[in-house]
Structure 1
Amino acid sequence: MSSAPDPLDMPRQFLSFALGQESFGLDIRTVREIIQHGAMTTVPLMPDFVRGVINLRGAVVPVIDLKARFGRGMATVGKKTCIVIVDSVRDGERTELGLMVDAVSEVITLEPGQVEPPPTFGGSTRRDFIAGMGRCADRFLVLLDPDRALDIAEMASLCEASQLALAA
Protein backbone atom coordinates (compact mmCIF):
# COMPACT_ATOMS: atom_id res chain seq x y z
CA MET A 1 0.00 0.00 0.00
CA SER A 2 1.55 3.28 -1.11
CA SER A 3 0.68 6.63 0.35
CA ALA A 4 0.29 9.81 -1.66
CA PRO A 5 3.45 11.93 -1.84
CA ASP A 6 3.59 14.91 0.50
CA PRO A 7 3.03 18.04 -1.67
CA LEU A 8 5.80 19.83 0.26
CA ASP A 9 8.26 17.15 -0.93
CA MET A 10 7.36 17.75 -4.57
CA PRO A 11 8.77 20.37 -6.95
CA ARG A 12 6.51 23.43 -7.17
CA GLN A 13 6.09 26.03 -9.88
CA PHE A 14 6.01 29.76 -9.29
CA LEU A 15 5.24 32.68 -11.57
CA SER A 16 8.11 35.11 -11.11
CA PHE A 17 7.53 38.83 -11.46
CA ALA A 18 9.23 42.11 -10.65
CA LEU A 19 8.27 45.00 -8.42
CA GLY A 20 10.99 47.56 -8.94
CA GLN A 21 14.34 45.79 -8.51
CA GLU A 22 12.90 42.95 -6.42
CA SER A 23 11.82 39.54 -7.69
CA PHE A 24 8.75 37.78 -6.30
CA GLY A 25 7.10 34.44 -6.91
CA LEU A 26 3.50 33.32 -6.67
CA ASP A 27 2.39 29.68 -6.69
CA ILE A 28 1.26 29.05 -10.26
CA ARG A 29 -1.81 27.18 -8.99
CA THR A 30 -3.29 30.52 -7.82
CA VAL A 31 -2.69 32.26 -11.18
CA ARG A 32 -5.54 32.26 -13.70
CA GLU A 33 -4.05 34.43 -16.44
CA ILE A 34 -1.84 37.41 -17.24
CA ILE A 35 -3.22 40.39 -19.14
CA GLN A 36 -1.81 43.65 -20.42
CA HIS A 37 -2.34 46.75 -18.34
CA GLY A 38 -5.20 48.67 -19.87
CA ALA A 39 -8.29 50.73 -19.17
CA MET A 40 -9.25 50.76 -15.52
CA THR A 41 -12.12 52.42 -13.68
CA THR A 42 -11.11 54.13 -10.45
CA VAL A 43 -13.35 53.68 -7.42
CA PRO A 44 -13.73 56.63 -5.04
CA LEU A 45 -12.71 56.37 -1.38
CA MET A 46 -10.42 53.37 -1.82
CA PRO A 47 -6.95 53.08 -0.30
CA ASP A 48 -3.98 53.75 -2.59
CA PHE A 49 -3.31 50.06 -3.19
CA VAL A 50 -6.71 49.58 -4.90
CA ARG A 51 -5.99 51.05 -8.34
CA GLY A 52 -9.51 50.43 -9.63
CA VAL A 53 -11.53 47.74 -11.35
CA ILE A 54 -11.37 46.16 -14.79
CA ASN A 55 -13.96 44.40 -16.90
CA LEU A 56 -12.72 40.86 -17.45
CA ARG A 57 -15.17 39.12 -19.77
CA GLY A 58 -18.12 40.77 -18.04
CA ALA A 59 -16.83 40.32 -14.47
CA VAL A 60 -15.79 43.24 -12.27
CA VAL A 61 -12.25 42.49 -11.04
CA PRO A 62 -10.52 44.75 -8.49
CA VAL A 63 -6.89 45.59 -9.30
CA ILE A 64 -4.40 45.72 -6.44
CA ASP A 65 -1.17 47.68 -6.86
CA LEU A 66 1.25 45.27 -5.16
CA LYS A 67 3.91 47.97 -4.72
CA ALA A 68 1.43 50.11 -2.78
CA ARG A 69 0.08 47.05 -0.91
CA PHE A 70 3.64 46.39 0.30
CA GLY A 71 4.05 50.02 1.42
CA ARG A 72 6.44 51.07 -1.36
CA GLY A 73 4.37 53.85 -2.91
CA MET A 74 2.29 53.76 -6.06
CA ALA A 75 3.59 51.84 -9.06
CA THR A 76 4.40 53.71 -12.25
CA VAL A 77 2.84 52.17 -15.34
CA GLY A 78 5.47 51.21 -17.91
CA LYS A 79 5.73 49.19 -21.13
CA LYS A 80 5.98 45.86 -19.27
CA THR A 81 3.37 46.58 -16.59
CA CYS A 82 0.75 43.86 -16.54
CA ILE A 83 -2.03 42.46 -14.40
CA VAL A 84 -1.83 38.95 -12.99
CA ILE A 85 -5.31 37.55 -12.42
CA VAL A 86 -5.37 35.30 -9.34
CA ASP A 87 -7.98 33.31 -7.48
CA SER A 88 -8.62 34.32 -3.90
CA VAL A 89 -11.14 33.00 -1.40
CA ARG A 90 -13.28 35.10 0.93
CA ASP A 91 -15.91 33.55 3.19
CA GLY A 92 -15.64 30.32 1.20
CA GLU A 93 -16.38 32.13 -2.06
CA ARG A 94 -13.89 32.30 -4.93
CA THR A 95 -13.01 35.83 -6.02
CA GLU A 96 -10.76 37.01 -8.82
CA LEU A 97 -8.22 39.72 -8.09
CA GLY A 98 -5.92 41.56 -10.45
CA LEU A 99 -2.37 42.19 -9.26
CA MET A 100 -0.57 45.05 -10.96
CA VAL A 101 3.13 44.19 -11.33
CA ASP A 102 6.02 45.89 -13.12
CA ALA A 103 6.84 42.86 -15.27
CA VAL A 104 6.25 39.12 -15.42
CA SER A 105 9.43 37.09 -15.89
CA GLU A 106 8.86 33.35 -16.20
CA VAL A 107 7.50 30.22 -14.55
CA ILE A 108 10.18 28.73 -12.30
CA THR A 109 10.21 25.20 -10.90
CA LEU A 110 11.71 24.93 -7.42
CA GLU A 111 12.67 21.71 -5.69
CA PRO A 112 11.90 21.53 -1.94
CA GLY A 113 15.62 21.99 -1.17
CA GLN A 114 15.59 25.31 -3.04
CA VAL A 115 13.00 26.87 -0.72
CA GLU A 116 14.20 28.45 2.52
CA PRO A 117 11.98 29.73 5.34
CA PRO A 118 11.25 33.46 5.39
CA PRO A 119 13.84 35.66 7.10
CA THR A 120 13.26 36.19 10.82
CA PHE A 121 14.05 39.91 10.66
CA GLY A 122 14.39 42.86 8.32
CA GLY A 123 13.18 42.93 4.76
CA SER A 124 10.98 45.46 3.05
CA THR A 125 7.93 43.19 2.79
CA ARG A 126 5.80 42.23 5.78
CA ARG A 127 7.15 38.92 7.02
CA ASP A 128 3.71 37.33 7.25
CA PHE A 129 3.27 37.97 3.49
CA ILE A 130 6.25 35.68 2.74
CA ALA A 131 5.86 31.91 2.39
CA GLY A 132 9.59 31.38 1.81
CA MET A 133 12.65 32.34 -0.17
CA GLY A 134 13.32 30.48 -3.41
CA ARG A 135 16.96 30.02 -4.44
CA CYS A 136 17.34 30.62 -8.19
CA ALA A 137 20.94 30.53 -9.41
CA ASP A 138 22.62 33.57 -7.79
CA ARG A 139 19.52 35.30 -6.45
CA PHE A 140 16.51 34.80 -4.22
CA LEU A 141 12.87 34.96 -5.19
CA VAL A 142 10.51 36.20 -2.44
CA LEU A 143 7.71 33.61 -2.46
CA LEU A 144 4.45 35.24 -1.46
CA ASP A 145 1.85 33.62 0.75
CA PRO A 146 -1.29 34.53 -1.21
CA ASP A 147 -3.62 33.82 1.73
CA ARG A 148 -1.83 36.53 3.74
CA ALA A 149 -0.52 39.00 1.14
CA LEU A 150 -3.84 38.97 -0.71
CA ASP A 151 -6.11 38.55 2.31
CA ILE A 152 -9.43 39.85 1.01
CA ALA A 153 -10.86 40.41 4.51
CA GLU A 154 -7.84 42.50 5.58
CA MET A 155 -7.89 44.53 2.37
CA ALA A 156 -11.67 45.06 2.72
CA SER A 157 -11.22 46.34 6.28
CA LEU A 158 -8.49 48.72 5.07
CA CYS A 159 -10.88 49.97 2.37
CA GLU A 160 -13.61 50.52 4.97
CA ALA A 161 -11.18 52.36 7.27
CA SER A 162 -10.08 54.53 4.35
CA GLN A 163 -13.69 55.38 3.50
CA LEU A 164 -14.50 56.23 7.13
CA ALA A 165 -11.42 58.44 7.44
CA LEU A 166 -12.30 60.37 4.28
CA ALA A 167 -15.93 60.74 5.33
CA ALA A 168 -14.97 62.15 8.76
Structure 2
Amino acid sequence: MEDFKLLSNTDSYLTFSMNQELFAVSVKKVTELLEMLPVTVVPKAPAYMRGVINLRGSVVPVLDTRTKFSLPSVPDSIDTCIVVMTIENGEELVKIGAIVDSVSEVIEIPNEEIMPLPAISKKERAQFIHGVIKKEERFIMILDVDRVFSTEEVISLKATELENVG
Protein backbone atom coordinates (compact mmCIF):
# COMPACT_ATOMS: atom_id res chain seq x y z
CA MET A 1 0.00 0.00 0.00
CA GLU A 2 2.90 2.38 0.72
CA ASP A 3 4.20 1.96 -2.86
CA PHE A 4 0.81 2.88 -4.32
CA LYS A 5 0.64 6.00 -2.16
CA LEU A 6 4.12 7.03 -3.32
CA LEU A 7 3.19 6.54 -6.99
CA SER A 8 -0.04 8.51 -6.68
CA ASN A 9 1.96 11.56 -5.51
CA THR A 10 4.28 11.45 -8.53
CA ASP A 11 3.55 12.87 -11.98
CA SER A 12 5.36 12.52 -15.31
CA TYR A 13 6.58 15.61 -17.17
CA LEU A 14 8.04 16.14 -20.62
CA THR A 15 11.04 18.45 -20.40
CA PHE A 16 12.21 20.73 -23.19
CA SER A 17 14.54 23.67 -23.61
CA MET A 18 14.02 27.22 -24.80
CA ASN A 19 16.72 29.87 -24.64
CA GLN A 20 18.95 27.42 -22.74
CA GLU A 21 16.37 27.14 -19.94
CA LEU A 22 14.51 23.94 -19.05
CA PHE A 23 10.72 23.79 -18.96
CA ALA A 24 8.31 20.93 -18.32
CA VAL A 25 4.69 20.12 -19.13
CA SER A 26 2.56 17.30 -17.78
CA VAL A 27 2.65 14.31 -20.12
CA LYS A 28 -1.12 14.10 -19.58
CA LYS A 29 -1.37 17.22 -21.79
CA VAL A 30 1.01 16.03 -24.54
CA THR A 31 -0.53 14.08 -27.43
CA GLU A 32 2.55 13.82 -29.66
CA LEU A 33 5.93 15.19 -30.66
CA LEU A 34 6.62 16.23 -34.24
CA GLU A 35 9.76 17.17 -36.10
CA MET A 36 9.54 20.74 -37.31
CA LEU A 37 7.12 20.83 -40.25
CA PRO A 38 6.28 23.50 -42.81
CA VAL A 39 3.72 25.79 -41.19
CA THR A 40 1.08 27.67 -43.18
CA VAL A 41 1.08 31.34 -42.19
CA VAL A 42 -2.28 32.76 -41.14
CA PRO A 43 -2.88 36.42 -42.06
CA LYS A 44 -3.70 38.78 -39.16
CA ALA A 45 -2.83 36.12 -36.57
CA PRO A 46 -1.29 37.14 -33.22
CA ALA A 47 2.52 37.57 -33.31
CA TYR A 48 3.09 34.40 -31.29
CA MET A 49 1.10 32.27 -33.77
CA ARG A 50 3.49 30.84 -36.36
CA GLY A 51 0.59 29.42 -38.39
CA VAL A 52 -1.27 26.12 -38.77
CA ILE A 53 -0.45 22.55 -39.73
CA ASN A 54 -2.61 19.74 -41.05
CA LEU A 55 -2.44 16.93 -38.51
CA ARG A 56 -4.25 13.91 -39.97
CA GLY A 57 -7.05 16.06 -41.37
CA SER A 58 -7.31 18.47 -38.42
CA VAL A 59 -6.12 22.07 -38.52
CA VAL A 60 -3.84 22.65 -35.54
CA PRO A 61 -2.60 26.15 -34.61
CA VAL A 62 1.18 26.26 -34.09
CA LEU A 63 2.50 28.76 -31.57
CA ASP A 64 6.00 30.12 -31.26
CA THR A 65 6.64 29.59 -27.57
CA ARG A 66 9.70 31.87 -27.62
CA THR A 67 7.55 34.78 -28.84
CA LYS A 68 4.82 33.91 -26.33
CA PHE A 69 7.37 34.13 -23.50
CA SER A 70 9.09 37.26 -24.88
CA LEU A 71 12.33 35.37 -25.47
CA PRO A 72 14.73 36.31 -28.28
CA SER A 73 13.92 34.76 -31.65
CA VAL A 74 16.31 32.20 -33.17
CA PRO A 75 16.22 30.30 -36.45
CA ASP A 76 14.79 26.77 -36.32
CA SER A 77 17.44 24.07 -35.96
CA ILE A 78 17.57 20.31 -36.45
CA ASP A 79 16.44 19.97 -32.81
CA THR A 80 13.46 22.34 -33.11
CA CYS A 81 10.19 20.46 -32.77
CA ILE A 82 6.47 20.87 -32.22
CA VAL A 83 4.93 19.59 -29.00
CA VAL A 84 1.24 18.93 -29.69
CA MET A 85 -0.84 19.39 -26.56
CA THR A 86 -4.49 19.33 -25.59
CA ILE A 87 -5.52 22.31 -23.50
CA GLU A 88 -8.79 22.93 -21.71
CA ASN A 89 -10.96 25.86 -22.75
CA GLY A 90 -13.86 25.62 -20.32
CA GLU A 91 -15.66 22.43 -21.34
CA GLU A 92 -13.87 22.20 -24.70
CA LEU A 93 -10.54 20.49 -25.40
CA VAL A 94 -8.37 22.23 -28.01
CA LYS A 95 -5.21 20.90 -29.69
CA ILE A 96 -2.33 23.30 -30.16
CA GLY A 97 1.26 22.85 -31.29
CA ALA A 98 4.03 24.62 -29.39
CA ILE A 99 7.41 25.14 -31.05
CA VAL A 100 10.30 24.44 -28.68
CA ASP A 101 14.08 24.50 -29.18
CA SER A 102 14.51 20.83 -28.27
CA VAL A 103 12.84 18.08 -26.27
CA SER A 104 14.93 16.59 -23.47
CA GLU A 105 13.28 13.69 -21.62
CA VAL A 106 10.31 12.50 -19.58
CA ILE A 107 10.91 12.73 -15.85
CA GLU A 108 8.96 11.62 -12.80
CA ILE A 109 8.48 14.36 -10.22
CA PRO A 110 7.10 13.76 -6.72
CA ASN A 111 4.53 16.51 -6.04
CA GLU A 112 6.26 17.51 -2.79
CA GLU A 113 9.41 18.45 -4.78
CA ILE A 114 7.55 21.11 -6.78
CA MET A 115 8.35 24.49 -5.24
CA PRO A 116 6.21 27.58 -5.74
CA LEU A 117 7.76 30.30 -7.87
CA PRO A 118 8.95 33.28 -5.83
CA ALA A 119 7.50 36.68 -6.72
CA ILE A 120 9.22 38.05 -9.81
CA SER A 121 8.93 41.21 -11.83
CA LYS A 122 7.58 39.63 -15.04
CA LYS A 123 4.12 38.91 -13.68
CA GLU A 124 2.76 37.78 -17.08
CA ARG A 125 5.38 35.08 -17.41
CA ALA A 126 4.97 34.04 -13.78
CA GLN A 127 1.27 33.28 -14.22
CA PHE A 128 2.21 30.53 -16.70
CA ILE A 129 4.46 28.77 -14.19
CA HIS A 130 2.91 26.06 -12.02
CA GLY A 131 6.09 25.61 -9.99
CA VAL A 132 9.81 24.92 -10.12
CA ILE A 133 11.92 21.86 -9.38
CA LYS A 134 15.64 21.50 -9.01
CA LYS A 135 17.24 18.63 -10.89
CA GLU A 136 20.96 18.23 -10.37
CA GLU A 137 22.21 21.84 -10.56
CA ARG A 138 19.47 23.22 -12.82
CA PHE A 139 15.99 24.55 -12.25
CA ILE A 140 13.10 23.32 -14.37
CA MET A 141 10.03 25.53 -14.68
CA ILE A 142 6.80 23.55 -14.82
CA LEU A 143 4.30 25.22 -17.14
CA ASP A 144 0.56 25.36 -16.62
CA VAL A 145 -0.36 24.98 -20.30
CA ASP A 146 -4.03 25.72 -19.70
CA ARG A 147 -2.99 29.16 -18.45
CA VAL A 148 -0.18 29.70 -20.98
CA PHE A 149 -2.84 29.85 -23.66
CA SER A 150 -5.70 31.75 -22.02
CA THR A 151 -9.35 31.35 -22.92
CA GLU A 152 -9.38 34.57 -24.96
CA GLU A 153 -6.35 33.41 -26.97
CA VAL A 154 -7.87 29.99 -27.60
CA ILE A 155 -11.11 31.59 -28.80
CA SER A 156 -9.05 33.88 -31.05
CA LEU A 157 -7.12 30.92 -32.47
CA LYS A 158 -10.27 28.88 -33.05
CA ALA A 159 -11.90 31.85 -34.83
CA THR A 160 -8.78 32.33 -36.99
CA GLU A 161 -8.83 28.60 -37.79
CA LEU A 162 -12.48 28.71 -38.86
CA GLU A 163 -12.04 31.86 -40.96
CA ASN A 164 -9.11 30.40 -42.86
CA VAL A 165 -10.50 26.89 -43.28
CA GLY A 166 -14.08 27.90 -44.18
TM-score (norm 2): 0.84
Are the structure 2 counterparts of residues 150 and 48 from structure 1 closer, same or farther at C-alpha, using a change threshold of 3 Å?
same
Shift of 1:95: 1.1
Which residue of 1 is the match for residue 80 of structure 2? 81
Which residue of 1 is the match for residue 148 of structure 2? 149
Asked if 1 retains the 8 angstrom alpha-carbon contact of 2:82 and 2:97, the reply is yes
- Counterparts of 2:74 and 2:14, CA distance in 1: 19
- Counterparts of 1:74 and 1:134, CA distance in 2: 26
Which residue of 2 is the match for residue 36 of structure 1? 35
Shift of 1:157: 5.2
List structure 1 runs of 4+ shifted beyond 3 angstroms.
4-7, 122-125, 154-160
Gaps of 5+ in 1: 161-168
Asked if 2 retains the 8 angstrom alpha-carbon contact of 1:81 and 1:101, the reply is yes
Amino acid at match of 2:89: R
Asked if 2 retains the 8 angstrom alpha-carbon contact of 1:90 and 1:153, the reply is no
Which residue of 1 is the match for residue 58 of structure 2? 59
- Counterparts of 1:34 and 1:158, CA distance in 2: 21
Matched, 1:131 2:133: no
Asked if 1 retains the 8 angstrom alpha-carbon contact of 2:87 and 2:96, the reply is yes
Shift of 1:155: 5.1
Asked if 2 retains the 8 angstrom alpha-carbon contact of 1:47 and 1:159, the reply is no
- Counterparts of 1:47 and 1:87, CA distance in 2: 20
TM-score (norm 1): 0.83
**1:94-130 deviation line (CA, Å, top 9, x unaligned):** 1110000000000011112321101212469711100
SS at match of 1:126: helix
Amino acid at match of 1:114: E
SS at match of 2:112: helix
SS at match of 1:77: coil
Count, aligned residues: 156
